[in-house]
Amino acid sequence: MEFQYETKTGCLRIFTPREIDECAASEMREEADMLIDNYQIRHLIFDFSNTEFMDSSGIGMLIGRSRKMGYTGGSVVAENLNGRVQKIFTLAGLPKLITVVKEANHD
């Protein structure tokens, strides 16, 4: 699986896949960490526009990335969550760790 992403001066936007389960989560974990280190990312954005499904493996991956960014004082934002993904975020208490932005602010 290949993930689409954009990088711009310390900022990484990851377009998450249609379904985030254990398979997708472990690939995203690896790829995101590689990009964060290589591009010295300070600001990480997960763009959920394409995501219809996420289970607890996705939550583990997001908490892990939030910790990783936290060590270096970086920030993590989640954008464009559909109702289902929003529900999963809320039930898992993710909004305490990751800033959820309702409307995308495309720059």
Partner 1 sequence: MIREQEMTIRFAAYPENEQFARIVITAFLMDLNPLVDEMADIKTAVSEAVTNAIIHGYENCMGEVTMTCKKQGDLITITVLDEGCGIADIARAREPFFTTKPEAERSGMGFSFMEMFMDEIHITSERGQGTCVEMKKQLHLQEGSS
Distance CA 13, CA 83 (A): 21
Helices (DSSP H) in the chain: which residue ranges?
Answer: 22-38, 56-71, 83-91
| Residue 33 is a binding residue for partner 1 (CB under 8 A) | no
Instruction: Give the torsion sign (CA, 74, 48, 36, 28).
Output: positive
Least distance (Å) from partner 1 to the CB of residue 29? 7
- Stretch in the footprint of partner 1 (CB under 8 A) among 6-14, 56-64, 71-79, 99-107: 56-64
Q: Tell me which residues touch partner 1 (CB under 8 A).
A: 19, 21-23, 26, 29, 53, 55-57, 59-61, 63-64, 84, 88, 91-92
